[in-house]
Amino acid sequence: MHAFDILGDPVRRRILEMLAEGEHTAGEITSVIQNQFGISQPAVSQHLRVLRDGGFAYVRADGTRRLYTVSSRPLQEVDTWLRRFRHLWDQPLDALETELARGMRERGARAGNTQGSTVDEGPPVRKEEP
């Protein structure tokens, strides 16, 4: 199964989001996924198997519990594939960052210039000497 086929499913993406936060038991994953997606325990187990078989998750036994962790290798492969497209959003995001910085500088400059301000700052506050 191709990485994007695996990542294309919202349940599997949610499981990976959980695993990105740290190791989780199969029971913890099942509980969250059942609550959020309303699917059965066997369906959650099937999604976990797809993630394991696709190399996106590792499982280890701890007594009777199964602990899952995320594997970064397939995600790195996805990132490598996406690099050829990154220029499509990096440049517009860089331009947005520049405009936001310019706007903040202009607001800062206006805040420093109180002459002609239309903002009502209220009456002046008097300091009382002790």
How many Cα atoms occupy the beta-carbon half-sphere of 130 within 13 Å? Answer: 0
Amino acid at 116: G
Confidence at residue 97, expressed as pLDDT on a 0 to 100 scale: 77
74-128 pLDDT, tens digit per residue, is 888 888 888 888 777 667 667 677 878 888 888 888 777 655 444 445 555 555 5
How many Cα atoms occupy the beta-carbon half-sphere of 36 within 13 Å? Answer: 14
Confidence at residue 117, expressed as pLDDT on a 0 to 100 scale: 47
Strand pairing report for 65-70 and 57-62: antiparallel
Q: What is the mean pLDDT of residues 23-39?
A: 96
Quote the CA–CA distance of 123 and 121 in Å, as a whole number. Answer: 7
Confidence at residue 114, expressed as pLDDT on a 0 to 100 scale: 53
pTM beyond 0.85? no
For all residues of the chain together, what is the average pLDDT?
84
